[in-house]
Amino acid sequence: MTLKEKRKHLRINSLNLSYIFVDGNNNGEKQTMGRTLNVSESGILLETHIPVDLNDNLMLTIGLKEDLVDIKGKVVHLEKGEHGMYELGVKFLDADKKAIRILQKYIKAFNDKQKK
């Protein structure tokens, strides 16, 4: 039996620093730093040391090489990771064209480098 891929866009494993502002539905607002574990045009897997809730809204600033991408997201998956860290599956919301272009450029450059 094969598993059907549910993701719309290819994800690449990539560690990038991120600033995270959490607009928590139940726990108020929080700010922290984290890092991406993988990146796609439609979402990321993010690692952070603070707990959040499913469906919390996030405002992210992600460092992708020399670019900073500001993007809104929603926590759609959550699990306790290693060493007390939390892994958040984040779906991007209302991404503007500039942010998407930067993500596409970054992913293309990563894929081109992998092919060499």
Q: Quote the pTM value.
A: 0.82
Does residue 81 sit within a domain?
yes
Average pLDDT over residues 30-42: 93
Q: Tell me the per-residue pLDDT of 38-53, one tens digit each, with 9 for 90 and over.
A: 999 889 999 999 989 9
Which CATH number goes with the domain that contains 36?
A: 2.40.10.220
Strand blocks (E) in the chain = 12-24, 28-39, 43-48, 57-64, 67-80, 86-93
Does residue 28 sit within a domain?
yes
The DSSP call for residue 4 is P
Q: Tell me the per-residue pLDDT of 80-112, one tens digit each, with 9 for 90 and over.
A: 977 899 999 999 998 889 988 988 888 888 888
Domain count, the chain: 1
Residue span of the structural domain in which 98 resides: 12-115
Does residue 7 sit within a domain?
no
Cβ-contact 74, 55 below 8 angstroms = yes
Query: Cα(12)–Cα(76) distance, rounded to whole angstroms?
Result: 18
**Tokens encoding 70:** 């500001």
